[in-house]
Amino acid sequence: KDNACPKPDEKKLLAEEKAKQPNIPMAMPEQYMWVIGNLPAYQQRVDCWYFIRTYQEKHLDYHRALTDFMEVIDCLRDSEMLTALLGIILATGNYLNGGTNRGQADGFDLETLGKLESVKDVVGKDIRSFMFEIFFFKLYDKAAQLVEELEPMLRNVTRRLSKDSDGTEKLNKQTRVAFEDFDICVRLLSEEFEKMNETMTMILQYFEDPADQFKLRMPGEFERAKSNINGLVALKDRVKASYGELLGWFKISGMKSADFCVIWDNFFIPPDLIINKDVAMKQNYLVPTFCQGKPPSVEDLMVLWDFKQPDEIKKTEKKRRKRDPEARKRRQERREKDNPDTTAPKAEGGDLDGGKAAGKEPPSATDSRPPPDKELPGKGKPGKGTSKGKAVDAVDQSMEEAPALKAKPMMPNAPGKGKGKAMPSGKGKGKSELVAAAEAAARAVKEAAMPS
């Protein structure tokens, strides 16, 4: 758009040359510059058309990214088996700290997941290996379901094995969608629209020709753009509120979404477990499984944690867990409401109807995952109760001297423990369910710790 219109000095020079030699015909480039340069507000016209013809690609990219990140939020918020794993972590810490003032904790900070690697046994395995051994073997069905539930989050982190300038191998992790980045992008797109809409409104007063195509079409184009961009801003606000609510469930005052996702990914897929494997194992199994954008299965994680060998895994088709068809129907209704198809306009400038293209091209599959904007009736969301409070906060300790688990009440007004931080209304599990999960995890930990 910067080179489509003649600059003021170019237009002035062209007019002077035409006045000097009025009988000499212009070449095609000069003719183009002369016609375009004599249109009223020609540069502003081009700017407005350029915005209308390019904003929709940004709109689709941003909408896709936000809906993908909303899936990351939902997979944690709606997970049925996350409490089972967190219960094992909590029960393990309480068991190791039994008989001390560090035990009997009701929860732990999320950052603790990144500190567990410092607690090792005599052969060098960290405490996560012990926890996952219990989870994968004693609670295999729950583990398989959890890995499937957390697929959006594990898919949101890309992993790449590379070498630095010294030849040292390292595993680089990067979040595919970081909410803060797209929060800025949506805000900039909204500001650009406001600026161009003001320009369009201002230059319309200079057009006297009632048949001017800009005057006839541009107001309608900007109305549709306004509807689409306002919908995108509303989606961004919902995602931001949902992410803040998720952090509140984990009792986190503030954390960047990239750090949040990497904490979980490092817990399930530690970089050193890939880097320290032999070359053949990395090339033939680990890199194709964990570094090529495919979500891992529970069997893949068992190979990563040295509980199985690759040839022990049966090459069977992955069976997805059946979900409530009514819930799927409700999500589809919200999808149709929240995600209007704003495919690119036709080359001849066909009108867009309410944000939907006149063409027949279907939306891509990734565009069909909008964030739910309300709770499903009759199904309260499981609170992340086992991750509240303080725990494992020491570094470089042995498993015999486990990090402290500070006793902090998980539920508000727990009997005999004073007041704790209240869970969001209607979102947490009942105390009896949390207690049952913690007791079951404690039993599994004790059984695993018993000498054979």
Predicted confidence at residue 25, as pLDDT, reads 76
Instruction: Answer with the residue of higher pLDDT: 100 or 252.
Output: 252
CA–CA distance, 449 with 443 (Å, rounded to integer) = 10
| AA identity, residue 400 | E
Predicted confidence at residue 104, as pLDDT, reads 77
Tens-digit pLDDT profile for residues 3-17: 666 666 666 676 767
Predicted confidence at residue 419, as pLDDT, reads 35
Report residue 153 as tokens.
């989050």
Tens-digit pLDDT profile for residues 168-189: 899 999 999 999 999 999 999 9
Report pTM. 0.68
Cβ pair 70, 76 in contact under 8 A: no
Mean pLDDT is highest, among 11-15, 249-253, 268-272, 308-312, for 268-272
Instruction: Answer with the residue of higher pLDDT: 451 or 422.
Output: 451
Kindly report the number of other CB atoms within 10 A of residue 290's CB atom.
26
Predicted confidence at residue 99, as pLDDT, reads 76
Residues with Cβ within 8 Å of residue 81, at least 6 apart in sequence: 142, 143, 145, 146, 149
Beta bridge partners, 126, equal: 120
Instruction: Answer with the residue of higher pLDDT: 358 or 91.
Output: 91
pLDDT surpassing 50 at residue 404: no
Predicted confidence at residue 179, as pLDDT, reads 95
Quick one: pLDDT band at residue 357, thresholds 50, 70, 90?
very low
**Where does 291-424 have alpha helices with state H?**
298-304, 325-338
pLDDT surpassing 50 at residue 364: no
CA–CA distance, 315 with 169 (Å, rounded to integer) = 30
Predicted confidence at residue 418, as pLDDT, reads 34
Query: What is the pLDDT of the chain when averaged over all its residues?
Result: 74
Predicted confidence at residue 189, as pLDDT, reads 96
pLDDT surpassing 50 at residue 334: yes
Tens-digit pLDDT profile for residues 33-51: 666 666 667 778 888 989 9
pLDDT surpassing 80 at residue 323: no
Instruction: Answer with the residue of higher pLDDT: 195 or 394.
Output: 195
Cβ pair 18, 26 in contact under 8 A: yes
For residues 76-105, average pLDDT: 85
The single residue listed with the structure tokens 């996702």 is 261
Angle between helices 42-77 and 213-249 (to 10 degrees): 20
pLDDT surpassing 50 at residue 260: yes
pLDDT surpassing 80 at residue 327: no
| Phi and psi, residue 10, nearest 5° | -65, -40
Quick one: pLDDT band at residue 331, thresholds 50, 70, 90?
low
Kindly report the number of other CB atoms within 10 A of residue 165's CB atom.
5
* Cα torsion angle, 310, 316, 321, 326, sign: positive
Kindly report the number of other CB atoms within 10 A of residue 345's CB atom.
18
pLDDT surpassing 80 at residue 448: no
Predicted confidence at residue 449, as pLDDT, reads 55
pLDDT surpassing 90 at residue 291: yes
pLDDT surpassing 50 at residue 193: yes
pLDDT-wise least confident of 270-284, 312-326, 419-433: 419-433
